[in-house]
């Protein structure tokens, strides 16, 4: 039962509807964009105040309403990506018919440039060293002035374009470090295998620094680095120089979208690539495999490693 429709400036301006059944109230947002996904929406409901922020390109579309009747704590959100429609389903506290949805609160039904909104975005990043040739220094001393990051800018991403626009003197807040990797995993290590895809290379930087300087038992480090194209390979020449200088290190690049000139390895992570690459130096050598990249890459890699009889203790995956 559609009881109200609102529309503002022009056909491309987002709009919303609401409709109800005995027990549910559904708020439908028509973004007029096709690239909307669940990550683009933040819903906040407190007492009778209902707020939904939807990221639409460089703007934030806000629904902000004081609801006319009470609703329950839980609600659900679904997105129909093909038409850019978002449905937020609220559960009524009482099964009675609502005459109207509610009254508009601040900035309701408005499109605000994202740079003016002050929304907090939180994303994890992995500190790296200034170069692959830096000595490993741990713990970081308080007089160390710098922290290095290697961050890929996604032109359509939520956070990285903002980061890219920062000027010297601007501020970003940083949390204290989080993670599960322990240096003790390197104890008595003989063979270290690193499987990295794209920016999943970043945790491998300090691992490489540390392994090549601080693990006396280490015989071999092998990095298999998966990227789309040659241009995407982070720090390629440094990696090649390091492998040339330190014979314990081997580096292999695998491209999933190479040009016809590429005569190295191609494809995605696969049983064939891994079984050839992950040869232990000795039958019983103490090994560790570190893996990091897009979630499907890491998940598939872990499955393949188990198939190749690597135990849980021999695998460290970097995940969110
Ligand atoms: P997002 O808005 O998340 O989008 C990224 C890209 O994916 C864009 O091209 C976007 O269009 C596309 N996209 C978004 N959602 C979808 C979807 N549902 N379907 C298809 N495509 C979609 N990154 C680094 O560069 N360096 C690091 O050192 C680093 N360390 C990390 C450490 C950890 C523990 C984790 C979990 C991630 C790390 N990342 C790192 C990734 C980083 O946290 C961000 O995810 C990344 O920077 C993208 O953020 P964004 O907001 O700019 O892009
Ligand atoms: P990308 O899209 O350029 O892909 C790089 C390579 O990953 C591809 O060439 C391919 O070989 C592989 N790959 C991509 N999608 C795959 C799939 N569906 N199945 C199998 N293999 C696949 O990578 P990017 O844009 O640099 O993204 C890197 C990812 O690594 C991001 O998702 C980021 O969040 C993640 N990351 C995680 C951490 C962590 O500590 N957890 C650290 C850094 C980066």
Tens of pLDDT, residues 50-68: 999 998 888 899 999 999 9
Instruction: Return the ligand 1 atom nearest residue 156 CA.
Output: 11
Sorted by sequence, the CB contacts under 8 Å of residue 151 that are 6+ apart come out as 125, 160, 163, 199
User: Is the overall model pTM greater than 0.90, yes or no?
Assistant: no
Burial of 24 (C-beta count, 10 Å sphere; 0-12/13-18/19+): middle
Q: Are 186 and 210 in contact (CB under 8 A)?
A: yes
> Going by CA atoms, what residue is nearest to atom 3 of ligand 1?
157
Q: How confident is the model at residue 137 (pLDDT cuts 50, 70, 90)?
A: low
Asked whether the beta carbons of 65 and 110 are under 8 A apart, the reply is no
Task: Dump pLDDT digits (tens) for 277-287.
Answer: 998 767 788 99
pLDDT higher than 70, residue 144: no
Find out whether the beta carbon of 156 lies less than 6 Å from any atom of ligand 1. Answer: yes
Give 255-275 pLDDT, tens digit per residue.
999 999 999 999 999 999 999
How many angstroms separate the CA atoms of 98 and 315, rounded? 56
Nearest CA to ligand 2 atom 16: 297
CA of 125 to the centre of ligand 1 (A): 10
Residues 79 and 31: beta-carbon distance below 8 Å: no
For the CA of 320, the nearest atom of ligand 1:
36
What pLDDT does 26 receive? 97
The answer to whether the CB of 4 falls within 8 A of the CB of 101 is yes
Span 30-38, average pLDDT: 87
Which segment of 34-38, 63-67, 80-84, 288-292 scores lowest on mean pLDDT? 34-38
Q: What is d(CA 320, CA 317) in angstroms, rounded to the nearest whole number? A: 10
Write the ipTM: 0.96
In this prediction, residue 77 has a pLDDT band, given cuts at 50, 70 and 90, of: very high
Q: Is the CB of 152 under 6 A from ligand 1?
A: yes
The domains found in the chain, sorted by start residue, are 2-116 (2.60.40.790), 127-320 (3.40.50.80)
Residue 124 Cβ inside 6 Å of ligand 1? The answer reads: yes
Strand positions, DSSP E, the chain:
2-6, 15-20, 24-30, 41-46, 49-56, 59-67, 71-80, 85-92, 102-104, 110-113, 127-128, 148-149, 191-197, 220-227, 249-255, 265-266, 287-292, 315-317
d(CA 49, CA 262): 57
CB 209 less than 6 A from any atom of ligand 1: no
Centre of ligand 2 to C-alpha 297, Å, is: 7
At 135 the pLDDT is 66
Indicate which atom in ligand 2 lies nearest the CA of residue 320.
Answer: 41
Q: What is the CA radius of gyration of the chain?
A: 26
Task: Tell me what the mean pLDDT of segment 92-112 comes to.
Answer: 95
pLDDT at 203 over 50: yes
Q: What is the pLDDT of residue 46?
A: 84
């Amino acid at each position: 039962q559609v009881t109200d429709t609102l529309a503002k400036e022009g056909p491309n301006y987002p709009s919303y509807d609401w409709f109800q059944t005995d027990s549910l109230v559904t708020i439908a947002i028509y973004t007029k964009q096709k690239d909307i996904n669940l990550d683009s929406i933040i819903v906040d409901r407190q007492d009778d105040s209902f707020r939904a922020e939807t990221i639409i390109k460089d703007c934030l579309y806000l629904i902000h309403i004081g609801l006319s009747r009470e609703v329950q704590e839980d609600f659900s959100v679904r997105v129909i990506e093909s038409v850019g429609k978002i449905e937020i389903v609220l559960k009524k506290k009482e099964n009675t018919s609502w005459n109207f949805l509610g009254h508009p609160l601040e900035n309701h039904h408005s499109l605000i440039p994202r740079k003016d909104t002050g929304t907090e975005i939180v994303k994890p990043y992995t500190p790296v060293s200034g170069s692959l040739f830096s000595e490993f220094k741990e713990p970081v001393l308080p007089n160390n002035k710098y922290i290095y990051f290697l961050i890929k800018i996604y032109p359509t991403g939520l956070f990285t374009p903002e980061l890219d626009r920062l000027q010297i003197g601007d501020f970003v807040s940083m949390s204290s470090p989080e993670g599960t990797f322990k240096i003790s995993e390197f104890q008595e290590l003989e063979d270290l295998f690193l499987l990295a895809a794209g920016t999943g290379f970043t945790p491998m930087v300090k691992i490489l620094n540390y392994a090549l300087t601080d693990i006396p038992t280490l015989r071999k480090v092998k990095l298999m680095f998966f990227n789309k194209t040659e241009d995407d390979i982070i720090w390629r020449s440094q990696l090649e120089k390091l492998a040339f200088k330190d014979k314990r290190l081997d580096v292999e690049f695998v491209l999933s979208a190479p040009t016809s000139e590429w005569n190295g390895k191609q494809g995605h992570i696969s049983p064939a690539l891994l079984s050839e690459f992950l040869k232990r130096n000795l039958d019983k050598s103490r090994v560790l495999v570190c893996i990091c990249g897009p979630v499907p890459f890491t998940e598939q890699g872990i499955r393949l490693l188990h198939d190749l009889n690597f135990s849980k203790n021999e695998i460290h995956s970097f995940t969110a």
